[in-house]
Amino acid sequence: MSSEAPASPGQRSPSHGESLSPGVQESERFKFHYTVGSGSSRKAIGTAALAATNPDALDLDDLEALLAAGVDLNAIPHPGYAMISYARRDNRPFEGPNWFIDSGGYSVQKKFNHYPTSIDDYVAYLSEYDDQIEKYTLRDWACALDLLRDADRDIRTHQEWSIRDHVYCLEAAEEAGLTAEPVAVLQGHDIEEYLWSFDYLKEHGLASPTLGIGSILRPNKPSEVRAIIQELRDAIPSKYALHGFGISKTVLEDAETLWALDSADTTSWQSKAAHARVTDPEWADRVPAWIRTLQAYGLRRCRRRTHRSCLRRRVGRRSNRTRALASRPPQRVRCREAGPS
């Protein structure tokens, strides 16, 4: 299934009321996942999928609202890839996109300091929607510093709990007969900790073909996020695809960072609609929230830049620091048995 790519640098974005641009088709290498969070984003992505495949099935009231807002149904691109969190109240995937399910670690740990549901509950949910799911994350424990501080725990503890829960989740998924692809999550805060996580997963047969980079959502620190992603790509063999969780549009606008990732998800595609009451009150008053979000889906793709000079500079380059870290043998540790499960 194809997905829409970020608009090319020279492409003009349509203004409010214009048809959504069909955009540039995404390459097979990079997969951009539209995170479905709010109710309006859910309806927007669902409408985009339906409009691109079976527009006759659209609700008549919705169709009238779309036409009144000046949306050209023939120009709505299909959302090939989308992500939804298990922690969402409405976490049901719907027909259309290839779905990537997030275990929801950060959001539930921020609220409760632990998971309020079991791994068995998570796997039962995955089993229910297995035929619609392409990938899912193995349950992990976020290493965001604010979460660790609030829970009075350290990074190594959450790394070890992540490994423990990865093992249990894989065993439960195998017993349930899941066909979707599991994604192991690299956890840490700095590059040394992420590489420790990768070394341990690889050494113990837990490294999946796609590896997620967790705890990378760091507002106002795009340079730090870019550096971690690029160093991980330099250090980790290319046979492993890298997925960035919650990557901002600002981070993805950097060519080297974009080429270091094989896929990413973000909510930033809907930011224009989310802030419309402040930034464009006339538009917000005139257009329903879900249509504003649908228009943002067309207007706010991250812009992919193919800078060949940047790519050439990266060929054969690996920082001495990263090379040294990547060559270290993994330290064997015994996962702590105590703590939430």
**Per-residue pLDDT averaged across 28-39, rounded?**
88
For residue 329, what pLDDT is reported?
Answer: 52
- Reported as a pLDDT band with limits 50, 70 and 90, residue 29 is confident
Structure token digits, residue 278: 């402040």
Please give the backbone phi and psi of residue 113, each rounded to the nearest 5 degrees, phi first: 70, 5
Q: Rounded to whole angstroms, how far apart are CA atoms 291 and 46? A: 11
Q: Is the pLDDT of residue 110 over 80?
A: yes
Structure token digits, residue 63: 């169709």
When the pLDDT of each residue in the chain is averaged and rounded to a whole number, the result is 82
Q: Is the pLDDT of residue 122 over 80?
A: yes
For residues 147 and 109, the answer to whether their CB atoms sit within 8 Å is yes
Q: Choose between 75 and 119: higher pLDDT.
A: 119
For residues 265 and 83, the answer to whether their CB atoms sit within 8 Å is yes
Q: Rounded to whole angstroms, how far apart are CA atoms 59 and 62? A: 5
For residue 281, what pLDDT is reported?
Answer: 87
For residue 98, what pLDDT is reported?
Answer: 96
Reported as a single tens digit per residue, the pLDDT across 269-290 is 887 777 777 788 888 888 999 9
- Interhelix angle 191-203/155-176, nearest 10 degrees: 40
For residue 284, what pLDDT is reported?
Answer: 83
Q: Is the pLDDT of residue 186 over 80?
A: yes
For residue 16, what pLDDT is reported?
Answer: 31
For residues 180 and 154, the answer to whether their CB atoms sit within 8 Å is no
Structure token digits, residue 294: 């649908």
